[in-house]
């Protein structure tokens, strides 16, 4: 299995083909972006941290029975993944009000919810990834109703596993974003990344933000938060 041509370059990752048509290589870059790419910086070591964090978190959900694209780490910044066609929807789960939900509904960040929120956003940078109702997604063919129901159940399971995993190291999972992909046989796999770029993670005692909001809102040095999450997770498993 060898690295092939660049298939896709995103804001924080590159995806390469391999000599095996079922496998791709994900390479995590040192870039951080926010607000649809309008804010951009580089942080030496971010790619390595997210490669390790995402690999670890994808393995944790896979161990609990959620099929994912992750195969194994290849190097400091690369991981081997199964090739999928990405469903053009971002699946967001929220355990507390934060970010765009706080802004859209005028509710204070940190407010508790009666149950987790399931949201879909249409993956389209030009439109700014707008929130869509499941009915929009199904009626326009972004995903079938059965895929939407499947993703909702899967994301609820991921929420339970990740919340427990983080709670065990004193971190609260506030919200997160997932992406799913289709395999050749039409089945879905959890794809993309699970990292502090795609989750809000707050220290359970102090409320300190350990995730990408440090960069979005200029709160604190970005990678100190990422290193702290990885340190706690590694300590818990040794
Ligand atoms: P939001 O509150 O800005 O809608 O973000 C909800 C969650 O989704 C948060 O954990 C950050 C994550 N997210 C991404 O991973 N990518 C994105 O492009 C956006 C807007 C949010
Ligand atoms: N990843 C998105 C961007 O670059 C937004 C975000 O995570 O805040 O622009």
How do residues 100-139 score in pLDDT, each as one tens digit? 999 999 999 999 999 999 999 999 999 999 999 999 999 9
Which residue ranges form the domains of the chain, and what is each CATH number? 3-82 (3.30.200.20), 85-236 (3.30.470.20)
Pairing relationship of beta strands 70-73 and 89-96 according to DSSP bridges: unpaired
Tokens describing residue 158: 């991921």
pLDDT at 141: 98
Residue 237: band (very low, low, confident or very high) from pLDDT cuts 50, 70, 90:
confident
Tokens describing residue 128: 């700014």
| Ligand (nearest to CA of 129) | 1
Pairing relationship of beta strands 131-132 and 112-122 according to DSSP bridges: antiparallel
Nearest C-alpha neighbor of 196 from the set 9, 56, 37, 8: 56
Question: What's the gap in Å between 178 CA and the centre of ligand 2?
Answer: 13
Residue 238: band (very low, low, confident or very high) from pLDDT cuts 50, 70, 90:
confident
Question: What's the gap in Å between 37 CA and the centre of ligand 2?
Answer: 6
Note the pTM of the prediction, 2 decimals.
Answer: 0.97
Which of ligand 1's atoms lies nearest the C-alpha of 102? Answer: 2
Tokens describing residue 142: 């972004």
Query: Integer distance in angstroms from the first to the last C-alpha of the chain?
Result: 31
The mean pLDDT of the chain is 98
69, 212 in Cβ contact below 8 A?
no
Percentage of the chain beyond pLDDT 70 is 100
Which of 198, 209, 215, 216 has most ligand 1 atoms within 8 Å of CB, for mutation? 198
| Ligand (nearest to CA of 199) | 1
Stretch 63-83: mean pLDDT, rounded? Answer: 98
């Amino acid at each position: 299995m060898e690295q092939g041509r660049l298939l896709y370059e995103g804001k924080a990752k590159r995806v390469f083909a391999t000599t095996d048509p079922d496998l791709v290589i994900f390479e995590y870059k040192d870039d951080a972006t926010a607000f649809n790419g309008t804010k951009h910086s580089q942080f030496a070591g971010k790619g390595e941290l997210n490669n390790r964090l995402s690999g670890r978190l994808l393995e944790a959900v896979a161990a609990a029975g959620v099929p994912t694209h992750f195969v194994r780490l290849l190097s400091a910044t690369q991981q081997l993944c199964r090739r999928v066609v990405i469903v053009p929807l971002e699946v967001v789960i929220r355990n507390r009000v934060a970010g765009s939900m706080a802004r859209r509904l005028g509710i204070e960040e940190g407010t508790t919810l009666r149950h987790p929120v399931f949201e879909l956003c249409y993956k389209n940078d030009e439109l700014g990834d707008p929130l869509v109702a499941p009915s929009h997604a199904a009626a326009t063919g972004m995903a079938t109703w059965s895929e939407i129901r499947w993703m909702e159940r899967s994301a609820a399971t991921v929420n339970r596993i990740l919340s427990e995993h983080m709670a065990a190291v004193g971190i609260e999972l506030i919200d997160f974003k997932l992406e799913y992909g289709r395999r050749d046989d039409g089945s879905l796999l959890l794809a993309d990344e699970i990292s502090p770029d795609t989750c809000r993670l707050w220290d359970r005692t102090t409320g300190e933000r350990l995730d990408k909001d440090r960069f979005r809102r200029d709160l604190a040095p970005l990678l100190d938060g990422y290193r702290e999450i990885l340190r706690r997770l590694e300590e818990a498993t040794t």
